[in-house]
Amino acid sequence: MRTTRRITLGVGGLLLATATTSISAQAGSTGRGGATHTDNAVITWNAHAGAAALAACIAPLDDPLHESRMYAIMHIAIHDALNAIDRRSQPYAYRGHAHAHTSPQAAVAAAAHDTLITAIRQVPAPFPQSCRDAGVARVEADYAAALAAVPDEREKARGVAVGKAAAAAVLAARAGDGSDTTLADTSYRQGTRPGEYRFTPGTAFAFAPGWGDVRPFTLRSADQFRPAPPPDCGRRCWLPAWSPPVSAPVTRCAWKQPCPFTATNSVPASRRCRPGWAGWSGGTNRRSGAGRP
């Protein structure tokens, strides 16, 4: 059930978090440091999150992995908080219902604040603590300004409560997702054969080799829709694909079967081994000999 919910609602949560604008009114327009001024609380906090990522040293290019994770968690929490006030879709993680007179601006601010603070504090080495502290300080300042712009104390308190509850539910759902994997792995084992990984020249580490094992937000697994790999570089059967004559001295190639070269076995170009990308063209790419196997 949980897997199904992720698949059907994860993307919807991300989209609706930014699309639910009719109940997001004045959020305060005291954006600082280049943040976009807007009356929409969701868009405002999207800009605040970007500014916090810059302050935390993970943006624009230093750590796009934790940066994108942070944005996703924040927007899912915002979606669930607003959805609790005005139910429009199935929740992702938080299934509570809020009082009708609840400030959506405060709910958005609280959901964004709690998720951003937690995600920034989870950014691993080699980023220094000073970067994390700067990111947290930026979020705290924007949070204080957002709450100060909500005049009704009772509605504000309700909004803060539902925002914090939504954030807690989403953070609990993402706990132990594997995002604490090593970023700069200097001990990663390099290969020596064709197709095996080597460090980028001038860089003595592999960047986040374990990120592929981080639990996805909506997919069952990271490789759910991954296409089949290209032929093994250690086998000669891939060679004819690059220079396909009318026939080639190679038997029909299957992914996990041997592909011996003999002088007597030949196959037409349309049934020859080919690179993985050519498989997308099916039987249409006759000119290159990349027909369906």
Q: What is the pLDDT of residues 106-146, one digit of tens each?
A: 999 999 999 999 999 999 999 999 999 999 999 999 999 99
For residues 154 and 240, state if they share a domain.
no
Domain-terminating residue out of 146, 174, 202: 174
pLDDT of 211 > 50? The answer is yes
List of residues 6+ apart from 207 with CB closer than 8 A: 183, 184, 185
Task: Specify the pTM.
Answer: 0.69
For residues 95 and 240, state if they share a domain.
no
For residues 168 and 236, state if they share a domain.
no
For residues 138 and 64, state if they share a domain.
yes
For residues 166 and 244, state if they share a domain.
no
- Residue 201 counted as domain residue: no
- Residue 156 counted as domain residue: yes
pLDDT at position 233 is 61
Number of C-beta neighbours around residue 159 at 10 A: 30
For residues 19 and 138, state if they share a domain.
yes
- Of 201, 255, 172, 200, nearest to 2 by C-alpha is 172
For residues 40 and 142, state if they share a domain.
yes
The CATH number of the domain where 126 resides is what? 1.20.144
pLDDT of 250 > 70? The answer is no
- Residue 170 counted as domain residue: yes
The answer to whether the beta carbons of residues 42 and 85 sit under 8 Å apart is no
For residues 235 and 134, state if they share a domain.
no
pLDDT of 17 > 80? The answer is no
Domain-terminating residue out of 174, 202, 218: 174
For residues 53 and 135, state if they share a domain.
yes
- Residue 108 counted as domain residue: yes
pLDDT at position 252 is 44
Average pLDDT, the chain: 77
pLDDT at position 171 is 98
Q: pLDDT tens across 276-292, in order?
A: 333 333 333 333 333 33
What is the rounded CA–CA span in Å between residue 4 and residue 109?
A: 29
Number of separate domains in the chain? 2
Q: Which residue has the higher pLDDT, 29 or 221?
A: 221
pLDDT at position 223 is 87
pLDDT of 235 > 80? The answer is no
- The range of the structural domain enclosing residue 263 comes to 228-293
- Residue 206 counted as domain residue: no
